[in-house]
């Protein structure tokens, strides 16, 4: 949240992209009004300090609505770390274990970094206000974090290069298939949601089989910097298909590029599609634990998930009371992978170090 004397971390390109994706001029006007309403206000003792690893222009309307909904009794001071392809400097500050911690609450678009904080004992377990049917793997076993507003790991297909849906790939494991030599793409498996994906596969398939899969990918697939680059490459025809994030894929669909989204591994003998939640957690020893708890509960409300579902990334709500299903899910029900994120986080640093020895950044 911008304070007096602070300049918003939104560059011209980000604003242009947002303008392009706005459905109408009314959306532009609404976004400007939100920005003006946030304005500049003095920090108070009740202000909660938030670290967030998502785009500032996505978070600001939600945080502004939160402040207005509490009659300005609770303000939010926010810091953003928007590049998932780099080690999060915000998370690293927390891991240092400063007392008091550098923030009260973390809103993380990934899950494994939050699991890392959990395993280090840096998060405060609490009772989450979630309804029945919440996915069990989207709440920490000790209730120190809660997942919400997920993205899915999907296959994006270029429909000019693969004209018959019968020819579409159906599994992420096909990335290592020789028949797709040079025609498929994936992000580098040491950063972002791609790193989470392969950490989960290591837990599901076993370490040896996952390393074998990665060796095949090195030989067959284009390995790009991240999921967004994969989606762009498929859209441009540089690859016939690729494994990417649903928020990157839906952008290409809604730009009316020649692409289609496939939810992989849907057969009963397969693992299912991986759904990766955003996470929220309150820091142990937070200076404003009550205010942080109020904000944490607000972020996982159905209305917040609806806002994120209606946004450019069309995140997938987890709450049964959500009124706006993600546009990504227009093709019908999805069989989700039963991923154990806490198990996938075991030995994660060593795993990533091993993969970095195998994959140089392109």
pLDDT in tens, 269-289: 999 999 999 999 999 999 999
Contact 185, 221 (CB under 8 A): yes
Contact 300, 130 (CB under 8 A): yes
DSSP 209-251: HHHHHHHHHHHHSEEESSHHHHHHHHHTTSSSEEEEEHHHHHH
Phi first, then psi, for residue 176 (nearest 5°) are: -100, 5
Contacts 24+ apart (CB under 8 A), 5-14: 5/40, 8/35, 8/56, 9/56, 9/80, 9/82, 10/56, 10/57, 14/55, 14/57
Q: Quote the radius of gyration of the chain (alpha carbons, Å).
A: 20
pLDDT (average), residues 34-39: 39
Confidence tier at 44 by pLDDT (50, 70, 90): low
Phi first, then psi, for residue 160 (nearest 5°) are: -80, -30
pLDDT (average), residues 43-49: 73
Phi first, then psi, for residue 19 (nearest 5°) are: -60, -40
Phi first, then psi, for residue 350 (nearest 5°) are: -65, -40
Greatest mean pLDDT range, 72-76, 234-238, 332-336: 234-238
Beta strands in 5-61 (DSSP E): 48-52
Q: How confident is the model over 158-197, as pLDDT tens digits?
A: 999 999 999 999 999 999 999 999 999 999 999 899 999 9
Element holding 105 (H helix, E strand): strand 105-108
Q: How confident is the model over 62-102, as pLDDT tens digits?
A: 999 999 887 657 899 998 886 654 446 778 888 888 788 99
pLDDT (average), residues 256-266: 97
pTM of the full structure: 0.84
* Cα separation, 55 vs 62, whole angstroms: 12
In sequence order, which residues have a C-beta less than 8 Å from that of residue 299 and are 6 or more positions away? Answer: 62, 107, 148, 280
Q: What pLDDT is attached to residue 134?
A: 92
Distances 63 to 9, 21, 34, 59 between C-alpha atoms, Å: 15, 21, 10, 6
Nearest by Cα to 235 from 216, 212, 254: 254
Q: What pLDDT is attached to residue 150?
A: 97
Q: Residue 168 class from Cβ within 10 Å (0-12 exposed, 13-18 middle, 19+ buried)?
A: middle
Tokens of 176: 């290592």
pLDDT (average), residues 294-314: 94
Which one-letter DSSP state was computed for residue 190?
A: T
Q: Residue 3 class from Cβ within 10 Å (0-12 exposed, 13-18 middle, 19+ buried)?
A: middle
Q: Indicate if the pLDDT at residue 207 is higher than 50.
A: yes
Confidence tier at 203 by pLDDT (50, 70, 90): very high
- Cα of 191 vs its chain's centroid, Å: 12
* pLDDT, greater one: 308 or 362: 308
Q: What pLDDT is attached to residue 309?
A: 95
* pLDDT, greater one: 151 or 11: 151
* pLDDT, greater one: 351 or 87: 351
Q: What pLDDT is attached to residue 39?
A: 39
Q: What pLDDT is attached to residue 90?
A: 77
Tokens of 32: 């400007």
Name the percent of the chain lying above pLDDT 90: 70
Nearest by Cα to 157 from 225, 221, 244: 244
Nearest by Cα to 165 from 262, 248, 68, 236: 262
Q: Indicate if the pLDDT at residue 41 is higher than 50.
A: no
Mean pLDDT over each residue of the chain, to the nearest integer: 86
């Amino acid at each position: 949240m911008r304070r007096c004397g602070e300049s918003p971390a939104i560059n011209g390109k980000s604003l242009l992209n947002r303008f392009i994706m706005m459905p109408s001029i009314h959306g532009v006007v609404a976004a400007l009004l939100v920005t003006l309403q946030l304005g500049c206000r003095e920090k108070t003792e009740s202000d909660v300090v938030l670290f967030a690893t998502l785009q500032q222009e996505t978070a600001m309307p939600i945080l502004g609505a939160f402040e207005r909904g509490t009659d300005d009794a609770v303000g939010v001071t926010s810091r953003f770390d928007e590049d998932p392809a780099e080690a999060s400097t915000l998370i690293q500050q927390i891991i240092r274990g400063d007392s008091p911690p550098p923030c009260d609450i973390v809103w993380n678009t990934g899950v494994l970094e939050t699991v890392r904080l959990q395993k280090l004992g840096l998060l405060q377990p609490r009772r989450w206000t979630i309804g029945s049917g919440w996915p069990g793997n989207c709440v920490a076993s000790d209730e120190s974090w809660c997942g919400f507003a997920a993205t899915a790991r999907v296959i994006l297909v270029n429909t000019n290069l693969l004209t018959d849906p019968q020819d579409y790939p159906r599994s992420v494991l096909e990335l290592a298939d020789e028949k797709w030599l040079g025609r498929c793409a994936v992000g580098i498996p040491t950063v972002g949601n791609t790193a989470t994906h392969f950490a989960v596969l290591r837990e599901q398939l076993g370490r040896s089989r996952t390393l074998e899969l990665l060796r095949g990918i090195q030989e067959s697939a284009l390995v790009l910097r991240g999921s967004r680059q994969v989606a762009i490459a498929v859209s441009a025809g540089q690859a016939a298909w690729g494994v990417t994030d649903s928020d990157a894929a839906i952008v290409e669909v809604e730009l009316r590029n020649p692409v289609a989204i496939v939810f992989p591994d849907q057969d009963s003998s397969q693992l299912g599609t991986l759904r990766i939640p955003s996470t929220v957690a309150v820091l142990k020893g937070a200076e404003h634990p009550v205010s942080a708890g109020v904000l944490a509960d607000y972020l996982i409300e159905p209305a917040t998930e609806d806002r994120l579902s209606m946004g450019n990334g069309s995140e997938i709500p987890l709450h049964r009371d959500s009124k706006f299903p993600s546009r990504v899910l227009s093709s019908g029900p999805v069989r989700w992978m039963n991923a154990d994120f806490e198990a996938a986080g075991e030995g994660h640093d060593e795993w990533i170090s091993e993969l970095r020895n195998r994959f140089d950044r392109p």
